[in-house]
């Protein structure tokens, strides 16, 4: 019996040391702030069971000193598996921290904002859980179908086709509403499109309009997106892909949505966009060229090309490394700062090794000044530079429509760990 206890205590000590080292690495790299919905642990209630750490596919939690600790905040995607697994209820999901507030639009229980007819569901409204986002989209449409505004192109315009947007689109079609669904990406799926390959997504059984109950627990990113695509094919819902919302106005009781492809009016609008928001642009001449994209899906399609990756976070570094692994691909990584302060130490080490081996050319203190058909103009350390180019991948984060919402009068609350 003593041997068993000693073995258990030794394993526990080793795990605590490993988690402590992981936390120190995160502190050193400056990645201590979670990006979105995340767990807050009450140490007074936590018993150190480690069930939360075991339940988290991203390994965002660990145990230090017999207490659960949020050891890797930047990888958390807010699916809530940790909170569900905690035997004492010591974990709750929150937005923001004491140091960094997160803006969340105010919504009523029916997901309508203080602007009549404007609804928000899913991540933007503070819900990162797939099952609950699906339910919010469904409930928002239940309220929207009771509204009657004449003289508009549509009864409802749905912005975004993540879980909330898909559910809302299915519900709008089922209710016979005149609807328009707009998606800025080229595919359905929302935030999951930006997850790494084979990432495990945690969810729970959900009920979709027209489809019914779908039983899920763990599912890979690819399988989840395939599920959404099958739902779209089966129901025939219509979605305008590659069309982003540029502006939203509320005039004379109706909404006016403007996109690069046109202007539409509706009695109601449902914002179902993720907290990644709209990709941040470079604002450089030539950025409208087809060779410019904001997400790397399949590195093999650029095999043999001259590729430029712009950005300094993990997504940029990982994109550059994936491209460099393709035969014959020439990769340049450009970042406006002097250091990759927003990237994990391991990714920084991998980039350094790739640079030393000649697989990736790294240009720090660099900005894109113009994009041409076969080249890109850069300002490198204050000096002009031109490099051959076939594709530009911009990994510069995204911008949320919070300023736009405030402009039209939507009440926005800043959450500091609540």
Give the domain CATH number at 347.
Answer: 3.50.50.60
In a domain, 416, yes or no: no
Residue 267 sits in the same domain as residue 297: no
Residue 86 sits in the same domain as residue 29: yes
Q: For position 64, what pLDDT does the model report?
A: 84
* Six token digits for residue 148: 């009657």
User: Is pLDDT of 175 > 70?
Assistant: yes
Q: Which residue has the higher pLDDT, 259 or 59?
A: 259
The backbone region for 142, taken as left when phi is positive above 0, alpha when psi lies in -120 to 50, beta otherwise, is alpha
Local confidence band at 280 (pLDDT 50, 70, 90 cut-offs):
confident
Torsion of CA 21, 22, 27, 33, to 10 degrees: -150
Q: Length of the chain, please?
A: 418
Domain boundary among 276, 310, 327: 276
In a domain, 405, yes or no: no
Q: Report the percentage of the chain scoring pLDDT > 90.
A: 39
In a domain, 407, yes or no: no
User: Is pLDDT of 269 > 90?
Assistant: yes
Task: Please give the model's pTM, rounded to 2 decimal places.
Answer: 0.69
Local confidence band at 127 (pLDDT 50, 70, 90 cut-offs):
low
* Six token digits for residue 73: 């905040």
Residue 139 sits in the same domain as residue 154: yes
Q: For position 33, what pLDDT does the model report?
A: 66
Residue 151 sits in the same domain as residue 264: yes
Residue 109 sits in the same domain as residue 244: yes
User: Is pLDDT of 202 > 60?
Assistant: no
Residue 208 sits in the same domain as residue 313: no
CA dist 20 to 26, 34, 70, Å? 10, 18, 11
In a domain, 417, yes or no: no
Q: Report the range of poorest mean pLDDT among 88-97, 178-187, 226-235, 346-355.
A: 88-97
Residue 197 sits in the same domain as residue 127: yes
User: Is pLDDT of 228 > 80?
Assistant: yes
Q: For position 76, what pLDDT does the model report?
A: 75
Q: Report the range of poorest mean pLDDT among 134-138, 173-177, 369-373, 394-398.
A: 394-398
- Total number of domains in the chain: 3
Residue 132 sits in the same domain as residue 261: yes
Local confidence band at 19 (pLDDT 50, 70, 90 cut-offs):
low
DSSP state of 214: E
Local confidence band at 79 (pLDDT 50, 70, 90 cut-offs):
low
In a domain, 412, yes or no: no
User: Is pLDDT of 31 > 80?
Assistant: no
Determine the structural domain holding residue 13 and report its residue range: 2-101
DSSP conformation letters of 219-272: EEHHHHHHHHHHHHHHHT---B-S----EEEEETTEEEEEETTEEEEEEEEEE-
Domain boundary among 101, 124, 146: 101
In a domain, 281, yes or no: no
Domain boundary among 84, 101, 118: 101
Torsion of CA 403, 264, 241, 148, to 10 degrees: 90
Residue 131 sits in the same domain as residue 250: yes
Render pLDDT for 293-325 as a digit per residue (tens, 0 to 9): 887 878 889 999 999 999 998 889 989 999 999
Residue 224 sits in the same domain as residue 329: no
Average pLDDT score over the chain: 84
Q: Which residue has the higher pLDDT, 67 or 259?
A: 259
Q: For position 66, what pLDDT does the model report?
A: 84
């Amino acid at each position: 019996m003593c041997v068993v206890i000693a073995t258990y205590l030794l394993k526990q000590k080793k795990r605590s040391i490993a988690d402590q080292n992981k936390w120190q690495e995160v502190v050193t790299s400056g990645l201590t702030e979670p990006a979105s919905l995340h767990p807050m642990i009450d140490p007074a209630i936590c018993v150190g069971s480690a069930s939360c750490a075991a339940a988290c596919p991203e390994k965002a939690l660990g145990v230090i000193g017999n207490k659960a600790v949020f050891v890797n905040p930047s990888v958390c995607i807010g699916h809530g598996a940790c909170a569900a697994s905690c035997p004492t209820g010591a974990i709750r999901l929150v937005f923001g921290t004491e140091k960094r507030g997160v803006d969340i639009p105010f919504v009523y229980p029916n997901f309508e904002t203080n602007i009549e007819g404007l609804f928000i569901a899913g991540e933007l409204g503070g819900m990162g859980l797939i099952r609950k986002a699906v339910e919010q989209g469904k409930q928002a449409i239940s309220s929207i179908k009771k509204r009657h505004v004449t003289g508009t192109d549509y009864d409802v315009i749905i912005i975004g086709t993540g879980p909330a947007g898909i559910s809302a689109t299915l519900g709008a079609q089922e209710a016979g509403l005149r609807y328009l669904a707009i998606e800025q990406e080229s595919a359905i799926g929302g935030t999951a499109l930006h997850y790494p390959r084979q990432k495990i997504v945690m969810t729970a059984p959900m009920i979709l309009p027209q489809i019914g109950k779908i039983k899920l627990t763990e599912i890979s990113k690819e399988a989840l997106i395939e599920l959404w695509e099958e739902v779209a094919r089966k129901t025939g819902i219509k979605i305008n892909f590659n069309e982003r919302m540029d502006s939203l106005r509320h005039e004379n009781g109706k909404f006016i949505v403007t996109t690069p492809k046109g202007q539409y009016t509706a009695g109601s609008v449902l914002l179902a966009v993720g907290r990644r928001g709209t990709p941040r642009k470079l604002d450089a001449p030539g950025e409208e060229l087809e060779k410019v994209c904001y997400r790397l899906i399949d590195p093999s399609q650029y095999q043999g090309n001259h590729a430029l990756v712009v950005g300094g976070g993990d997504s940029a570094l990982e994109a550059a490394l994936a491209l460099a692994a393709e035969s014959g691909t020439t990769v340049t990584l450009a970042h406006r700062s002097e250091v990759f302060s927003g990237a994990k130490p391991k990714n920084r080490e991998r980039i350094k090794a790739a640079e030393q081996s000649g697989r990736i050319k790294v240009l720090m203190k660099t900005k894109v000044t113009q994009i041409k058909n076969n080249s890109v103009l850069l300002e490198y350390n204050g000096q002009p530079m031109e490099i051959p180019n076939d594709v530009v991948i911009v990994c510069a984060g995204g911008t949320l429509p919070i300023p736009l919402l405030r402009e039209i009068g939507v009440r926005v609350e800043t959450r500091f760990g609540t």
